[in-house]
Homo-oligomer: A and B are copies of this chain.
């Protein structure tokens, strides 16, 4: 307890997904997750605030990367190019470990209303972080909101495509955003 566990976080996530899949999210306690991972409950709580956060870890890092990607886009870039930079910036977090856990993680979230709500708010948080960063670049409120919503939709589509087929997340996300924004423009023309 208190000692450095280099892969504690990953072990906790894997143990949690094992237990949630075996016996259900509701029937699993934090103490069991820690035990399965060969760690203590207090180690668990150094990494995750509560039981459900083991499914949503790393969100703060993603928020920072999204905002940083937008802030770091060339000054001449329009809102969609800045959103593309945000999606490319978060690619570092889409590791093989994360891909391996993805399908079970999605299945657990889908099984529980509280988790689905938490996941929906996570997406809202991603959109809000992009809206703020875009407005700081001088993008209008409406332009920022539209670009951020298209970005979140592209991110969701890229995530499921990447879970299925793998590959470089940055490239998958770029293609998804291109499809989404071209579709948005075509809808307007078709109206």
Q: Which A residues have a C-beta under 8 Å from some C-beta of B?
A: 78-81, 113-114, 116-118, 120-121, 123-124, 142-143, 145-147, 149-150, 152-153, 157, 179-191
Q: How many chain copies?
A: 2
C-alpha gap A186/B188 in the complex (Å):
10
C-alpha gap A185/B79 in the complex (Å):
12
A sample of 22 cross-chain residue pairs with beta-carbon separation below 8 angstroms, ordered by A number, consists of A79-B190, A80-B188, A80-B191, A113-B121, A116-B124, A117-B117, A117-B120, A120-B120, A120-B121, A142-B180, A143-B183, A143-B186, A143-B187, A145-B153, A146-B183, A146-B187, A149-B149, A150-B184, A181-B184, A181-B187, A184-B184, A184-B188
C-alpha gap A188/B179 in the complex (Å):
11
Q: Which residues of B contact A150 (CB under 8 A)?
A: 146, 149, 184, 187
Q: How far is the CB of A108 from chain B (nearest CB, A)?
A: 16
Q: How far is the CB of A161 from chain B (nearest CB, A)?
A: 12
User: Would B120 and A187 count as touching, CB distance under 8 A?
Assistant: no
Q: How far is the CB of A190 from chain B (nearest CB, A)?
A: 4
C-alpha gap A116/B124 in the complex (Å):
10
C-alpha gap A147/B145 in the complex (Å):
15
Q: How far is the CB of A104 from chain B (nearest CB, A)?
A: 21
C-alpha gap A81/B191 in the complex (Å):
6
C-alpha gap A80/B171 in the complex (Å):
29
Q: Which residues of B contact A120 (CB under 8 A)?
A: 117, 120-121, 123-124
